[in-house]
Amino acid sequence: MTDGGGSISPADSVTGETGTTEGIWTMGVVGANTLTASTAGFPDLEFTATAELYVARADLTVSSMTVSPANATAFQDLTVTATITNSGGFYHWRSL
């Protein structure tokens, strides 16, 4: 972690045969968070994201939820769709 605290798991990783790797970035404080990835022989790669405060509301009602494909395997990407029938106010969703 370069800025904002938080953690990355795993802290060290080796690429697979496709040359890719992945980890889970748990962001720290509200505001700018920066993660730096490095490997020998290449310039560092910096990722910056903004953590925002989200207050959960008790009156959120989900009327239906579907997962597709329905017969997915453990290593397959899934799409989860939820229908919200009452939000009780304003919700702000943000993706990176």
Answer positive or negative: Cα dihedral of 84, 28, 9, 44: positive
The series of mean pLDDT values per 10 residues for the chain, 96 residues long, is: 76 83 83 86 85 66 68 67 60 45
Answer positive or negative: Cα dihedral of 72, 78, 79, 83: positive
Amino acid at position 32, single letter: A
CA–CA distance, 70 with 68 (Å, rounded to integer) = 5
CA–CA distance, 48 with 96 (Å, rounded to integer) = 10
What are the residue boundaries of the structural domains of the chain, listed by start? 7-51
pTM above 0.85, yes or no: no
